[in-house]
Amino acid sequence: MTRPSEGMREAMATAEVGDDVYGEDPTVNRLQERVAGLLGKDAGLFVPSGVMANQLALAACTRPGDEVIVEQSSHIFNYESGAPALLSGVQLHPLDGDRGRLGPEQVAAAARPPADVMPRTRLVCAENTANKAGGVVYRLEWLQSLARAARKADLRLHLDGARLWNAAEATGTPLADFAASFDTAWVALSKGLGAPVGSVLCGPADTVAEARRLRKAFGGGMRQAGVLAAAGLYAIEHHRAGLGRDHARARRLAEVLAELPAFEIDPEAVETNIVIFETTGADDAASVVDTLDGEGVRMTVFGPRTVRAALHRDVSEAGFERAVSVLREHFG
């Protein structure tokens, strides 16, 4: 929902560009080096979307016929159009975690023993923050325990960091610490940071080189992509400070919703910028969202009686207060 700020538009308009398919776009190269440094990895690869970042990592870290462990509410399992099977020939093994988070014991139990009749468990994927769980953060100690269990089973690890900026803001944990236990990790530039498009996948130099080759095969090679990379660089330098405000507003929204008889939510469960709540009255989620949309307040149906709201940098204070007023007027 975010749109480029004026400063971001200026950075895009004046970006130095070249042909990124040949590795010759200086702005793309700066962005890749900048994000790789923030994540503590050898190299980075600018890609059009987070879905492509996930799928490149799966393809680079597995072989056809392998199995990938994911949490059942993960983006990879629910919202990527069956791409693991379509593009990489791997099957997913979804586990029912704790609010979107895999437990070390679960991973240890799910890793298959070597056997000709079984797929080879090859990779574990974690999503930080966990979207469908309401933007819940994987704390650093949890990730480290998860990684130890995966390594003991000789598994590789991939971090879906679509909202890793939010996890870092909420906990004060550096991005590199979150990514340290993982072979590959990526961050989105187009969500909380407000760039119009793009993510950066990071990892060892040889893995990223393979991901670059696969990006071309998947149709994701871009030419003068520095226009887009400039937006990402600007977002990193200028927009991260707004994430804390988004988190504070999400908590305020949850507190308002908890006061309304039509809804059910625990405000203490809201950790970042996502608010997921249940309808308890006569209105189901679709009718609630339709009512709000008619008043210019946009939320998403997330289940028959589940609604998702996301706070972001383009929501002004006046817009936020307007949303609160509409909720109280119609559902108070």
At 1 the pLDDT is 87
The residue among 238, 257, 277 that closes a domain is: 238
**Same structural domain, 231 and 250:** no
For range 235-246, the mean pLDDT? 96
Please tell me the predicted confidence (pLDDT) of residue 40.
98
Do 209 and 277 reside in the same domain of the chain?
no
- The predicted pLDDT at position 281 comes to 82
Report yes or no on 85 lying in a domain: yes
Structural domain ending residue among the three candidates 207, 238, 269:
238
Do 186 and 286 sit in the same domain of this protein?
A: no
15 with 141, same domain?
yes
The C-alpha atoms of residue 136 and residue 275 are separated, in whole angstroms, by 10
Please, which residues have CB within 8 angstroms of residue 36's CB and are 6 or more apart in sequence?
Answer: 42, 43, 44, 200, 202
Instruction: Identify whether 63 is part of a domain.
Output: yes
- Residue 109 shares a structural domain with residue 90: yes
Domain final position from 238, 266, 288: 238
Residue 221 has pLDDT above 90, yes or no: yes
Do 177 and 269 lie in one domain? The reply is no
Contact 247, 111 (CB under 8 A): no
Give me the number of domains the chain comprises: 2
Mean pLDDT of 10-20: 98
CATH code where residue 310 lies: 3.90.1150.10
Confidence of residue 13 (pLDDT cuts 50, 70, 90): very high
- Of 71, 187, 178, 58, nearest in space to 123 by CA: 58
Partners of residue 278 on adjacent β-strands: 264, 306
Strand, helix or coil for residue 158: strand
* The predicted structure's pLDDT at residue 282: 86
pLDDT score for 113 = 96
> What are 105-153's pLDDT values in tens digits?
999 999 999 999 999 999 999 999 999 999 999 999 999 999 999 999 9
* Residue for token pair 């199995």: 67
Check: CB of residue 222 under 8 Å from CB of residue 21. yes
Residues 118 and 14 in one domain: yes
Give domain status of residue 60, yes or no. Answer: yes
Domain co-membership, 39 together with 117 = yes
pLDDT tens per residue across span 275-293 = 999 999 889 999 999 999 9
The CA distances from residue 225 to 32, 137, 186, 277, in Å, are: 12, 32, 18, 39
* Shared domain check, 278 and 167: no
pLDDT tens column, 62-87: 999 999 999 999 999 999 999 999 99
Note whether residue 302 is domain-resident: yes
Neighbours of 224 (CB within 10 A): 18
Task: Give the integer Cα–Cα distance in Å for 146 and 108.
Answer: 9
- Whether residues 106 and 201 share a domain: the answer is yes
pTM for the full model? 0.96
Q: What pLDDT is attached to residue 125?
A: 98
**Domain assignment of residue 282, given as a range:** 242-331
Is 158 in contact with 54 (CB distance < 8 Å)?
yes
Q: Identify the pLDDT of residue 89.
A: 98
Q: Is 16 among the domain residues?
A: yes
- Which CATH number is 78's domain given? 3.40.640.10
Looking at the predicted structure, is the pLDDT value of residue 165 above 90?
A: yes
If asked whether residues 284 and 313 sit together in one domain, one would say: yes
**How far apart (Å, rounded) are the C-alpha atoms in residues 111 and 113?**
7
Averaged pLDDT for residues 262-275: 97
Question: Looking at the structure, do residues 112 and 209 belong to the same domain, yes or no?
Answer: yes
205: in domain: yes
User: Mean pLDDT over residues 293-313, rounded?
Assistant: 97
Question: Within a domain: residue 1?
Answer: no
Domain membership flag for residue 291: yes
**Mean of per-residue pLDDT scores for the chain:** 97
The identity of residue 320, as a single letter, is F
* pLDDT above 90 as % of the chain: 99
